[in-house]
Structure 1
Amino acid sequence: MEPILEVEGISLQFGGVKALDNVTYHINKGEIFSLIGPNGAGKTSMLNCISGLYQPTSGSIRYKGQEIINMKPYERTTLGMARAFQNIALFAHMSVLDNLKLGRHSLMSSGVFSGGLYVGKASNEEIAHRRKVEEVIEFLELQDIRHTPVGTLPYGLQKRVEVGRALALGPELILLDEPMAGMNNAEKDMMSSFILDMHEVMDTTVVLIEHDLGIVMGLSDHIAVLDFGKRIGFGTPKEIQQNPDVIKAYIGEETVI
């Protein structure tokens, strides 16, 4: 199967602290890939390296065969990558629709006049981008709250909007940093369904950080496990559950699924 992302020998150091230590794995196009490990293992640091928020100390990250290690975050977005954050970073006073439109407009290539007036080519672009936003609203079942300020929404819905803003970019690869954190079981089930549909219906490659091992094992095609910044496991869910290093460091004998 063709890899869409190749991470090779990535290390990240802050002063005397090594957040990542020579981490290598690959992600196949069209799969659901999970990155797991104890708190402080380096999972979010890894997503920050992939999305361009952090500059690794050493190593290589290739997206569809192209080295992206020195690219800015917005340049990676134009290549087909998007990121949803663990801590919600929405504009609370703006509506669901406007938050999604704002994310999508980062792809606008035509000039925009002040006040939101679009003319000529920009007008055609705006129509196309608005159509994509509407598709995301329908996909995530946000129709009834499209005009609601996101700051007034329950936490679970805000998390869904955060994912929606990343999806509005139409990514080939989406990075989801704990999209189910703080959710109840019903909300987790719904988000799991959306993630499966991203994979199966949208043909989007999903990179997921999630602490609920039941969800991880049920959704993932492959998993990489980090501990103290090092990769201690990489493989299918079955292989991960049988990996003695992973069991010792993270899963535990009592909780093997």
Structure 2
Amino acid sequence: MNAPEPLREVIARHGLGASKALGQNFILDRQLLARIAAIPGSLEGQTVYEVGPGPGGLTRALLDAGASVTAVERDRRCIPALAELQAEFGDRLRLIEGDALEIDEPAVAGDGAHVVANLPYNVGTALLMNWLSGAWPPWWRSLTLMFQKEVAERLVALPGSSAYGRLSVAAQWRSKARIAMNVNRSAFVPPPKVTSAVVHIVPAKAPAGVDPSIMESLTQSAFGQRRKMLRSSLKSMPGAAEAAEQLGIDLQRRAETLSVQEYIELARALS
């Protein structure tokens, strides 16, 4: 098989300057893209759901790894470049032009898909929160996602750190998150102002008796006023302060000092 065309040439040929409005930053290094595609493990015969493929660099890496890919792209300028990949790989690549925030993902990706994406920065957190909420076990088998390093560190943060917050609990109360790789800003075109990181998340068994909507409301209340003591921050959620006292949680503590397990116990009591 001939070596694929350099991504810089694909981008130039199709006039695909990265759109700041769409939060685009393209990775051109095919070896780096292959390393990202390898993070979930062997993708031979697996289904992958990709958001924001852009010119198709990561898409090709996933296809080269043996996956069948459903790619959702909002930027219609990128469709011709992706169509060339589709012509090469046939029905192993399915293209959907649309907004990922409006897609019925289980319907188009199928149950048990791996999500792998260099997410557009402006919608990355919203998409992640969608994937971490709802029915459990989820429709996805794993999440391998590029974020700004600051966001990645929030996902894996431990209690007591300044990075620990709602995202930390959301990513850790019924799944396992790790930073798989740091990516220097120079790897992107155009280079973003910050370092990035790839986070790998796999679902775990959900704790019994915990309503996800209660967990979401609880962490929203607790971290909504993170500088205040729980006595004040939990006032917006009826019964939360009383439940915390019954569990022996000191209401003079602040939200970032509670462990994920303590949030699970508190959410269970409120559920």
Normalization by structure 1: what TM-score?
A: 0.31
Q: Which has the higher contact order (CA 8 A, sep 6+)?
A: 1
Name which one, 1 or 2, has greater alpha-carbon Rg. Answer: 2
Which has more strand, going by share of residues? 1
Normalization by structure 2: what TM-score?
A: 0.30
